[in-house]
Structure 1
Amino acid sequence: MKIKIKICGIREESALEAVIDAGADFGGFIFHDKSPRNLTIEEAASLSKRANGRIARVGLIVNPQDAFLDELFAKVELEALQLQGSESPERVQAIRERYGVDVWKAISVATKRDIQSAQAYQQSADLILFDAKTPPGALPGGMGLRFDWTLLDGIEMDLPWGLAGGLSPDNVSKAIQLTRAPMVDVCSGTERAPGIKDVDKITAFCKAALQA
């Protein structure tokens, strides 16, 4: 089965084109004003239009309010919404039903108990994304941190799932071989500086993942 690849934190048309050309399955747009990768709704609408039919579009957001989501979905076409905050299973289900979009739930991982907590979302999410837990007060992702991949040993999920956190062209092959993750998600590992994509790293990451 072909590994699925998501490149997150796309801000520029040139980066979007590089992600598509490299063969990624998902392009990620971030809506979080504390992130150097944050997009306005207008910026995202332009990128989404350019990507339409060429790559699946995923919006990343942290503990969103309905008012923001109403405006977002009125102006930006997305195939999925990635919830990166402390959203409960009930909140995930409510968003999924209200907007009729696939909802991915990111699980912040530091211990085996964190992995097990994903079970609570089996009925409400469409995909679980295991990501590294960041320090209190830090950004909820995109910091290049990774968790102990052996925590995923023996994982049994009824839902599709993916691996994120500290992935790069240099380690993604090992990560896939060790965890058997069916999907990988990268952000800072394909940048030359926070919020600025590196075309060569995007290409190298996708090549390494597909060859793993």
Structure 2
Amino acid sequence: MRTRVKFCGITSEADAMEAVAAGADSLGFVISKSPRQIHPKSVRDIVMKLPPMVTSIGVFVNENAAYVEQVSELCKFNAIQLQGAENLDEFSFKIPVIKAYKINAPHDLKQLNIDTRICACLFDSKSHDAPGGTGITFDWNIIKGTIFPKPLILAGGLTPANVSEAIRVLRPYAVDVSSGIEKAKGIKDVNLMHAFVQQVRMADRSD
């Protein structure tokens, strides 16, 4: 199966276009407070220029459901990604929802209750200092072999140096990277973006 690639934390049109050229399937835009935060109106302008088949995802952390859906409509997001402790009962699910789950130890997996209304489950490492993405890997073997009710998206500390191994271990539906392809917070590195996608494709061919 071809592993999908999501580049998250896009903050400029230039980075968005470079991400598309590198082969990203999806772009993530962080609307909540973050070093990679981008204004919804800027996102809308970028999304309007994306080519067909490249999806846009709005990333939110503990925001009001009505606000999330209002912004998502403004930006014409294809999906929303919830990174915090949101109450899913407050959402209408008119837009597909990706829910992030934080994992550091086997007991974290045992305590999971994955909502079947979501379109995919994203696994990231747990950090008390980072309610959003952490940029830190977790032990992939914790979830290896587990069958989830929704497609698996792997995040947390992925880079061109380790994404091939991550795919070999888990064979996820998609991989999600932000800091691992940056030269500074919120600014992507063209060479790292291309290298990341190349490593993903090499891993796919190795199966």
Shift of 1:45: 1.1
Structure 2 counterpart SS, 1:209: helix
Which 4+ runs in 1 deviate beyond 6 A?
none
Amino acid at match of 2:59: L
**Of 143, 147, 150, which residue of structure 2 is paired with 1:159?**
150
Per the alignment, residue 99 of structure 2 pairs with: 105
Percent of residue pairs bearing the same amino acid type: 33
Q: TM-score, normalised by structure 2?
A: 0.92
Question: Aligned equivalents of 1:148 and 1:107: distance in 2?
Answer: 14
**Is 1:186 paired with 2:169?**
no
> Is residue 29 from structure 1 mapped to residue 17 from structure 2 by the alignment?
no
Amino acid at match of 2:148: M
Quote the Cα distance in structure 1 between the aligned partners of 2:140 and 2:69. Answer: 36
Which residue identity is paired with 2:152? Answer: W
Structure 1 residue 53, shift from structure 2 partner = 2.4
Residue 123 (structure 2) aligns with = 130
Instruction: Give the 3 Å change call, closer, same or farther, for CA 117–79 of structure 1 in structure 2.
Output: farther
Give the deviation of 1:139 after TM superposition: 4.5
Q: CA, structure 1 residues 52+71, in 2 after alignment: closer, same or farther (shift >3 Å)?
A: farther
Q: Is the 8 A contact 1:107 1:115 kept in 2?
A: no
Amino acid at match of 2:2: K
Distance, in Å, in 1 between the alignment partners of 2:178 and 2:4 is: 15
Distance 1:169 1:4 in 2: 15
SS in 2 for 1:154: coil
Q: Runs of 5+ in structure 1 lacking a partner?
A: none
TM-score (norm 1): 0.90
Deviations 1:83-113 (A, max 9, x none): 00012xxx32542xx2511100000111122
Q: Tell me the equivalent position of 2:67.
A: 68
Q: Alpha-carbon deviations, 1:146-172, whole Å to 9, x = none?
A: 101111122111211111000000110
Query: Given the alignment, which residue of 130, 136, 140 partners 1:149?
Result: 140
- Larger helix proportion, structure 1 or 2? 1
> Which amino acid in 2 is paired with 1:43?
S
Q: Indicate conservation of the 8 Å contact 2:61/2:131, yes or no.
A: no
The Cα shift of 1:14 comes to 1.3
Take 1:121 and 1:93, find their aligned partners in 2: how far apart are those partners? 13
Unmatched tracts of structure 2, length 5 or more: none
Paired position in structure 1 for 2:42: 43
- Aligned pair count reads 203
Could you tell me how far 1:116 is from its partner in structure 2?
3.4
